A and B are shown apart, each in its own frame.
Chain A
Amino acid sequence: EVQLLESGGGLVQPGGSLRLSCAVSGFTFSNYAMNWVRQAPGMGLEWVSGMSGGDDSAFYADSVKGRFTISRDNSKNTLFLQMNRLRADDVAVYYCAKGIYRSWWSGGWFDAWGQGTLVTVSS
């Protein structure tokens, strides 16, 4: 059974940092692109960042470029999102989502998601 479990969310002050993790099981992690998607309160889904399975290719939404860094440890089946310079508009539930191809550039839908972790930015 495919499982994704996010952790690392919490309350942080504006300008602060958080590191989210997504531990996965049930599939060969290195064979698939992975993504972070967020949902702000009362808003829709927003793709945040993605990373290919077999290399270090990483991609970001304009809203987080230069502040967030996605990474993965294929030996530990874990995806990360380092979030720096957090702002009020980063408040959201952050989901990790599995792509269906190894290369992020191949596109495709997300066939498995975690339950999300809440990030709150407030002083």
Chain B
Amino acid sequence: EIVVTQSPGTLSLSPGERATLSCRASQSLSSDYVAWYQLKPGQAPRLLVYGASIRATGIPDRFSGRGSGTDFTLTISRLEPEDFAVYYCQQYGSSPPYTFGQGTKLQIK
């Protein structure tokens, strides 16, 4: 089973700053099978990025993903107040196919 590790566990930043969230897989992913989701309390999780770098429909361009192999990042270029949430990465390319990281909580500093 591929283990997905996210860092940091908590990130404290101010609106307007840049956020960089990391996601590491325990084995190299043969393709860029990584997705990122945003979770807010009481809301449905929201797909942000798939294929490591492809923004989902309707996602603002301040969100960008990159990476390959075992290391992936999600960057939010200029934080808006609504971006403070918990973010999860997921690898979906191996068996079991749906392995999530433990999440990064992005909180207001």
Contacts and interface: CB of A to CB of B under 8 A. Distances in A.
A59 B51 CA distance: 23
A37 interface: yes
Contacts of B96: 47, 59, 61
Contact of A107 (B46, B47, B97): B97
Given A44-B103, A45-B88, A45-B103, A111 B47 contact: yes
Interface string A81-97: 00000000000000101
A110 B102 contact: no
Contacts of B99: 47
A45 B36 CA distance: 12
Contacts of B25: none
Interface residue range, chain B: 20 to 34
A4 interface: yes
Nearest to B99: A47
Interface residue range, chain A: 20 to 34
B56 A4 contact: no
Say what secondary structure dominates the interface of chain A: strand
A53 interface: no
23 contacts: A43-B102, A44-B100, A45-B39, A45-B45, A47-B96, A47-B99, A50-B98, A95-B45, A104-B97, A107-B97, A109-B35, A109-B50, A109-B92, A110-B45, A110-B47, A110-B90, A110-B98, A111-B47, A111-B56, A112-B47, A113-B44, A113-B46, A115-B43
Interface of B: 33, 35, 37, 39, 42-47, 50, 56, 88, 90, 92-93, 96-103
Query: Which 3 residue pairs spanning A and B have beta carbons closest together?
Result: A47-B98, A109-B35, A45-B100
